[in-house]
Amino acid sequence: MDLIPSLRVAVWSACDLSCEYCHREGDVHPGRHLADRELLMLLRTALPLGLRKIKLTGGEPLLRPGLPALVRELATLGADLSLTTNGLELATQAGDLAAAGLRRVNISLDTLRPERFRELTGEDRLAGVLEGVRAAAKAGLALELDAVVLRGVNEEETVDLIAFAGGLGARIQFIELSQVGISSTYYRRRHRDLESLERWLRERGEALEDATRRFDRPRFRVNGVTVSLCRFVRYAEPGARRRGLRLAADGRVYGFRYGEPPRADLGAALRGGAGQARLTELWARCVRIGQEVSAAR
């Protein structure tokens, strides 16, 4: 049964940066975090529904105490395990995470300019991020850099960011600014669609797959670097992206679209004594709710 092909799992709610466009994915619960054993139990009960990919998120997941030990346990589930991070703690944790079984990491990197980084994040810590990126590469983790494209901020850095990724043997993904969690004024000022960038990639590079359908995530190879584009999910056609679920750090389950109410509170169900069969049933109900919402649109 292939009801849950992928799952984003917030393992920590706090973050050590304050990116001005952040939609605060992890800030959706009152503060209680699932213990390791609780998280493992919930994920095991999703496996019968086809769970194949698990991405650890936050907040900032590297702030969770004992994360390498948790990753070691998660690696035994057999799903493709990856992590998304701002990179600040990678310099000290990359080696331990790789040894624990993590294989891939996405690192947010919108700019290579220290003053611009400070304006976007509120912190003068670009050097720490770059140190973390290099530590992850040295540890043998497969890297993908994530850059949100912002009008009037970092548009002209796309070529430099692609070159930086190439120097690390990394992929890079350019992301369209989301409307969720930011003011309409900020969105209008900073939003830049990805059409012109896609045209440039088509002219300068090679399409790696059928990128003619506008709403897929097209991938290209430019100067030896794999470059992908990620549009805001409002454009998505029915498929895996819409079926994806998010597990918050307190055990509540949400759909892929941010801002929607939770579909279930699996953490509360687990603490209330729900067994494996009941938890699997609740996971399936979360998927059905999503199907009903999609059908109603």
Does 57 fall in a domain? yes
Does 1 fall in a domain? no
Q: Which residue from 169, 64, 167, 164 is spatially nearest to 109, judged by alpha carbons? A: 164
Q: pLDDT (tens digit, 9 = 90+) per residue, 16-70?
A: 999 988 866 545 455 689 999 999 999 999 999 999 999 999 999 999 999 999 9
Does 42 fall in a domain? yes
Is the Cα dihedral 210, 214, 217, 221 positive or negative? positive
Which has more pLDDT, 135 or 5?
135
SS3 38: helix
Print the domain residue range for 205.
6-296
Q: pLDDT (tens digit, 9 = 90+) per residue, 250-287?
A: 999 999 777 788 999 999 999 999 999 999 999 999 99
| pLDDT above 70 (res 76) | yes
- Joined together, the tokens standing for residue 225 give 């670097």
CB 62 within 8 A of CB 16: no
- Structural domain tally of the chain? 1
Look up residue 171 and give its amino acid: R
CB 28 within 8 A of CB 254: yes
Whichever domain contains 114, its CATH number is 3.20.20.70
Per-residue pLDDT, 293: 63
